[in-house]
Chain A
Amino acid sequence: MKVNVLFFASLKEDLGVSEIELDVSMLAGRSELLSALKNELGTECVAPVLEENVSIAINRRIEKGDFALKDGDEIAFLPPITGG
């Protein structure tokens, strides 16, 4: 199934891409997602995404634990946020 992956701010700059489509299996969790990402972008390239201070949002909601993806989910990698 297909999921959409978004990168913001410094991640978008580091990876040189703001959005990719990934093919993952039904109910794929965090580790399968990251594996698919490594395959797609290359292990070296993906390092910034794996940093501890990067959050993952599924359909615009931060997910701190594991998750089970569904077809059409929107996954976003968010570097540290700050507004105001």
Chain B
Amino acid sequence: MNLTMKLMSKVESLLFVSGDDGLTNKQLAFLTDTTEEEIDGILRKMIQTYKEREDRGLEIKQLAGTFQFVTKEENVLCIQKLVENPTTQSLSQASLEVLAIIAYKQPITRVEIEDIRGVKSERPISTLSAKGLVREVGRAEGTGRAILYGTTNEFLQYFGLQDLSTLPPLPEDVSTDEMEDTDLFMTKFQEAFDPNE
């Protein structure tokens, strides 16, 4: 009995680490130093136990000869919720960069932002608009009439600023062309907005 329990424990550990690859009964027998017959018996017992017990959220599924853990179907809703609601997190580095550029250089077009950053910036811009921190404030002159971006009132509130003039002054010698300088600029920016300060 004790040995059977220990074997179950090992099978649980092994199936857990093998993830989506799963393991065959042959592999399990090899890894736990036992016979395939014994593993078959153990797996049958485990499959049934997992299925029956209401406090278990996992099941063992056999797929193309390999056994693997899957979550119980009845818990699909809370997993769905996990996917849909990534934890409210602070802004990503890219978003912060774009936000800094918009804050100091507004009104500014996407192409100009991308020139400064040297990378495509569509997504951070749309993240920032979705979060209501930046918005379209007009159109540039000339062909294309590109969208001009600026910060919102929500931006001021979010960072506890009275108005745009209370943004910390931009260091004079910052050349945003160079990676290191951008980092430096970002550090200043983040320091300025650190909620702990």
A and B bind: no
- A residues with CB within 8 A of B: none
- B residues with CB within 8 A of A: none
